[in-house]
């Protein structure tokens, strides 16, 4: 039977990008099923996502943040029995053509989750800002210390998950700083995590919610969140 692959696209105020993102995914592989989780956007994100008829759109009643939006996607994937879920940003930063790279280790049962990293190898793609790269290096050190695993791009939102991981995260996905927290959560619960080198590009419109002095504040809060997650007891897996 054909494997069912869900592309989870969290979106907040992405009216300039979302239609292009959906079209790029459909052009890459028309078998992908796209789910846009519109996280209480105040612009025309919902209309733009629905306009081409290539995606299912869930409209959240208020802004839950990236954690709530992505967990909505995991719940949809779990209850609709998808084999794999791909987390894919709605800002145009990720490339649909790179999806097979992060999906392949799951299909060969070499990992449970695969993260697309900008830093495993030197690439020509966008490498993020200087301040954020400092934070990413700190998070790399923390992942080594807390779960014994080197993760070079803990903040990457380009990830693939197998069915077991989907079921786990549908019930336990972190809500505050989900990407780096999830690395620790999955590592502590014995999921196999792998990174592969991918290219990304700079966001294609709009503004990042983390910039300037917010970067330092974000870094401190993420460090605390990762430490707290590491203290949690193992969660019984389904």
C-alpha angle 165-169-171 in degrees, rounded to nearest 5: 130
How much is the pLDDT for 126?
A: 57
Return the structure tokens found at 206. 């709009």
Half-sphere exposure of 194 (CA within 13 A, CB side): 21
pLDDT at 131: 65
pLDDT above 90 as % of the chain: 80
Angstrom distance (rounded) from CA 8 to CA 24: 14
Say yes or no to pLDDT of 129 above 70. Answer: no
Mean pLDDT for the chain overall: 91
Average pLDDT of the residues in 50-79: 97
Name the helix (H) or strand (E) containing 186.
helix 178-188
Q: Look at the chain and count its residues.
A: 238
Phi-psi region of 224 (alpha: psi -120 to 50; beta: other; left: phi over 0): alpha
**Structure confidence at residue 207 (pLDDT):** 55
Within 13 A of 158's CA, how many CA atoms are on the CB side? 25
pLDDT score of 196: 97
Among residues 147, 123, 225, which one has the least CA distance to residue 180? 225
Determine the pLDDT at residue 46.
96
The Cα–Cα gap between 70 and 35 comes to: 10
The CATH code belonging to domain 5-231 is 3.90.550.10
Using pLDDT thresholds of 50, 70 and 90, give the confidence band for residue 155: very high
Dihedral over Cα of 162, 166, 180, 117: its sign: positive
Q: What is the pLDDT of residues 3-49, one digit of tens each?
A: 999 999 999 999 999 999 999 999 999 999 999 999 999 999 999 99
pLDDT at 92 over 80: yes
């Amino acid at each position: 039977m054909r494997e069912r692959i869900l592309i989870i696209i969290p979106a907040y105020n992405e009216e300039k990008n979302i239609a292009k993102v959906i079209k790029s995914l459909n052009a890459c592989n028309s078998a992908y099923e796209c789910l846009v989780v519109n996280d209480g956007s105040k612009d025309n994100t919902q209309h733009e996502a629905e306009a081409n008829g290539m995606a299912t759109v869930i409209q959240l009643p208020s802004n839950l943040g990236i954690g709530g939006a992505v967990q909505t996607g995991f719940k949809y994937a779990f209850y609709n029995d998808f084999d794999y879920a791909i987390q894919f940003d709605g800002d145009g930063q990720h490339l649909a053509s790179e999806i097979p790279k992060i999906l392949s280790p799951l299909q060969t049962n070499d990992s449970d989750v695969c993260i697309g990293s900008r830093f495993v190898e030197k690439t020509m793609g966008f490498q993020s800002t200087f301040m954020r790269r400092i934070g990413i290096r700190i998070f790399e050190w923390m992942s080594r210390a807390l779960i014994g695993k080197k993760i070079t791009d803990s903040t990457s939102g380009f990830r693939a998950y197998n069915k077991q991981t989907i079921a786990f995260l549908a019930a336990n996905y972190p809500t505050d700083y989900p990407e780096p927290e999830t690395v620790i959560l999955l590592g502590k619960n014995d999921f196999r995590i792998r990174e592969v080198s991918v290219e990304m590009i700079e966001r294609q419109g709009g503004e990042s919610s983390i910039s300037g002095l917010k970067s330092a504040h974000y870094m401190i809060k993420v460090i605390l969140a990762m430490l707290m997650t590491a203290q949690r007891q193992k969660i019984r897996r389904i």
